């Protein structure tokens, strides 16, 4: 199997594009897409203090490595990592997660559910249906990261979410009728905005990128994974994507259109009320 760009040995086949890519062209392709989204979203500006939400999985490690290389020659942008201990026995070890950041000389900020909320996800799971622990964990983790970012003067939080994560969240909100979540603008005043630089890239490409560029990702699996509605939606999306590879992109486009359309209608309504 040869790379369609240079003829060297290919390491991946992009189902949605029909291309075989070698190591060098895969890395270049992913880098180009991340930079394109950075420019489109205006996610990097002079004076920014960026922070990667570092969970230890492949996508967050790949993100930290990429941004470290991207801003290595810049003195007007700072980069940090935020590490959260959710309180899940035998799962993530914050000290191990910190290893890549230490290697790259990137400062870390810590937070734990026990210190911030006086609970752990283990206690949440024991006290409720284990299926609700995933959504509760996501809510608390997002809130704690945002709190730490505000305290440390961070201007933007970088998430390692892939196209599957984004489209899965949109599909879940559609199925549950959460219209307000679909149209919510995360860059609103009063909170540190989030960005998904890997949000247009499939997980299998990000995983391979991480293996090639920064091996050693935490492969521990959360014991509560597969018990919640989000996991069911993820399995549904994964099954359908095997037959229709462009599905995550289509759903992401729908989510973006819904968000943009509702914002446009909201502005029109405000202008109408102002003039009457």
Instruction: Kindly state the average pLDDT of the residues 192-204.
Output: 94
* Sign of the dihedral through C-alpha 202, 207, 209, 210: positive
Q: How far apart are CA 89 and CA 173, in angstroms?
A: 30
229-265 burial by CB neighbour count: b if 16+ within 10 A, else e?
Answer: ebeebbeebeeebeeeeebbbebbeebeebeeebeee
Comparing 127-136, 159-168, 199-208, the range with the smallest average pLDDT is 127-136
Residue 142 burial by CB count (10 A; 0-12/13-18/19+): exposed, middle or buried?
middle
- pLDDT score recorded for residue 68: 97
pLDDT of res. 264: 42
210-256 pLDDT per residue, tens: 999 887 766 667 777 766 778 888 889 999 988 888 899 999 888 88
Average pLDDT, the chain: 86
Q: What is the DSSP letter of 2?
A: B
Q: Which stretches of the chain are assigned E, i.e. beta strand?
A: 10-14, 19-22, 49-53, 78-85, 108-112, 156-158, 194-195
Burial (Cβ within 10 Å: 0-12, 13-18, ≥19) of residue 39: exposed
Residue among 46, 63, 104 at smallest CA distance from 207: 63
Residues 6+ apart with CB under 8 A from 161: 59, 196, 198, 199
- The CA distance from 159 to 64, in Å, is 10
Confidence (pLDDT) at 154: 97
- The pLDDT confidence band at residue 80, using thresholds 50, 70 and 90, is very high
Spatial contact of 5 and 17, defined as CB atoms under 8 Å apart? no
- Banded model confidence at residue 183, pLDDT cuts 50, 70, 90: low
Q: What is the pLDDT of residue 226?
A: 62
> Would the pLDDT of 40 be above 70?
yes
| Per-residue pLDDT at 39 exceeds 60 | yes
Using alpha carbons, select from 263, 249, 262, 258 the residue that is nearest to residue 174.
Answer: 258
Distance CA 231, CA 225 (A): 7
Measured from the Cβ of residue 46, the count of other Cβ atoms closer than 10 Å reads: 8
For residues 136-164, average pLDDT: 94
Assign domain 41-275 to a CATH class.
alpha beta
Residue 98 pLDDT exceeds 80:
yes
pLDDT given at position 190: 47
Q: Residue 185: count other Cβ atoms within 10 Å of its Cβ.
A: 11
CA separation (Å) from 236 to 119, 184, 243?
32, 25, 12
Q: Write the pLDDT tens digit of every residue in 118-132.
A: 999 998 888 766 567
Domain coordinates of the chain in residue numbers? 41-275
């Amino acid at each position: 199997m040869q790379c369609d760009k240079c003829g060297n040995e290919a390491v991946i086949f992009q189902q949605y594009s029909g291309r075989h890519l070698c190591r060098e062209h895969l890395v270049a392709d992913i880098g180009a897409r991340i930079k394109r989204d950075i420019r489109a979203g205006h996610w990097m500006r002079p004076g920014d203090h960026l922070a990667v939400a570092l969970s230890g999985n492949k996508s967050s490690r790949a993100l930290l490595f990429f941004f470290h290389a991207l801003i290595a020659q810049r003195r007007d942008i700072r980069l940090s990592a935020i590490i959260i201990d959710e309180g899940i026995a035998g799962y993530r070890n914050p000290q191990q997660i910190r290893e890549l950041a230490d290697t790259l000389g990137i400062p870390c900020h810590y937070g734990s559910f026990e210190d911030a909320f006086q609970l752990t996800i283990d206690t949440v799971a024991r006290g409720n249906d284990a299926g609700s622990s995933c959504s509760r964990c996501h809510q608390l983790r997002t809130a704690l990261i945002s709190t730490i970012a505000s305290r440390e003067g961070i201007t933007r939080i970088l998430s390692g979410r892939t196209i599957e994560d984004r489209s899965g969240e949109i599909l879940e909100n559609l199925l549950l009728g959460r219209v307000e979540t679909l149209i919510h603008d995360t860059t609103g005043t009063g909170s540190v905005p989030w960005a998904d630089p890997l949000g247009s890239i499939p997980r299998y490409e990000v995983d391979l990128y991480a293996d090639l560029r920064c091996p050693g990702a935490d492969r521990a699996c959360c014991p509560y994974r597969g018990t919640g509605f989000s996991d069911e939606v993820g399995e549904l999306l994964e099954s359908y994507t095997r037959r229709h590879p462009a599905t995550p992109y289509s759903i992401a486009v729908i989510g973006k259109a819904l968000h943009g359309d509702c914002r446009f209608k909201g502005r029109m309504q405000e202008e109408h009320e102002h003039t009457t």
